[in-house]
Amino acid sequence: PRPYGRNGDPDVRLSKALSYALRHGAEILSLHMSSDGFVDLGEILRLPQFKAWSEEDVKRVVETNEKQRFALCRHPSSGHLQIRANQGHSIQVPELELTPLQDLQDFPETVAHGTLLRHWPAIRQRGLSRMGRTHIHLAPGLPGDGDVLSGMRNSSEVAIILDIPKALADGIPFFRSANGVILSPGNADGLLLPRYFSRALQLRPRRKSEASSRS
């Protein structure tokens, strides 16, 4: 039987367990992760916390995840099925499939970071932080704009719109992940400073714009 947790959805539990293992816990769990972030699926399924799930369960979760958090592929020599988180790592993955975005035409029209209303005053003052991850996550658009899949939580109450030309001019690096999320390590301190904010939009209960203060 599939394990039903407090949220009542076994696929959500499996997705969260995979996210932890592949983004943060590989070393703690003694998983052998390649330089591009892939781990043998069989190795994961042998862990005690995954004993209730099968390869078919994992395939279903990967295929149905609307944010395309994971990728599956066969190892070129062993043929073993492998899995990777497409972004969101706190562990270093030196060869994660990231495409550098170096020119303005590489970017979508809108690049935004979603947050909760209670966090906005501090972010407005200090900037966006990597918060222990390797990158700050940015969405290629706004909720409801069509093709936006990942990079912003559905619970976000504020969207911070980035001034990409200004950030590029200051040498801030940006990348696109395999599932379309825009990623940036920020400056030397791991921050995207408020001067790179174009404006903020309150998303809930309805959209309204607020000019941001820049430093």
The amino acid at residue 111 is V
Cα 176-178-181 angle, rounded to 5 deg:
45
DSSP 8-state class, residue 129 = E
Average pLDDT over residues 144-160: 74
pLDDT at 2 over 80: no
Looking up tokens 């944010």 gives: 67
pLDDT at 112 over 90: yes
The CATH number assigned to the domain with range 98-202 reads 3.20.170.30
Q: Give the H or E element holding residue 23.
A: helix 10-23
Outline which parts of the chain fall under CATH 3.20.170.30: 98-202
Outline which parts of the chain fall under CATH 1.10.10.970: 10-85
What gap in Å lies between CA 196 and CA 16, rounded to an integer? 32
DSSP 8-state class, residue 105 = G
For the full predicted model, state whether its pTM sits above 0.75.
no
CA nearest 215: which of 195, 192, 197?
A: 195
Architecture of the structural domain at 10-85: Orthogonal Bundle (1.10)
Tokens (6 digits) for 38: 């892939």
Q: In what order do the strands lie in the sheet with 136-138?
A: 99-100, 175-176, 182-184, 136-138
| Cis peptide upstream of residue 173 (ω within 30 degrees of 0) | no
Average pLDDT over residues 184-211: 85
What gap in Å lies between CA 201 and CA 114, rounded to an integer? 9
Q: pLDDT tens digits for 19-73?
A: 999 988 888 899 998 888 899 999 999 999 999 999 999 999 999 887 788 999 8
Share of the chain above pLDDT 70, in %: 87
Average pLDDT over residues 5-27: 83
pLDDT at 215 over 50: no
Average pLDDT over residues 164-188: 91
What gap in Å lies between CA 99 and CA 182, rounded to an integer? 9
Q: What mean pLDDT is reported for the chain?
A: 85
- Between 55-64 and 10-23, two packed helices, what is the crossing angle to 10 degrees? 90
Q: Which residues, other chains included, contact 168 with Cβ-Cβ below 8 Å and sequence gap of 6+?
A: 102, 103, 104, 174
DSSP 8-state class, residue 2 = P
Q: pLDDT tens digits for 82-109?
A: 999 988 777 677 657 788 998 999 999 9
DSSP 8-state class, residue 190 = S
3-state class (DSSP) for residue 210: strand
CB atoms within 10 A of CB 98: 19
CA nearest 93: which of 123, 115, 71?
A: 71
What pLDDT, on the 0 to 100 scale, is given for residue 156?
86
The more confident residue out of 153 and 196 is 196
Average pLDDT over residues 143-166: 80
Tokens (6 digits) for 185: 């390590």
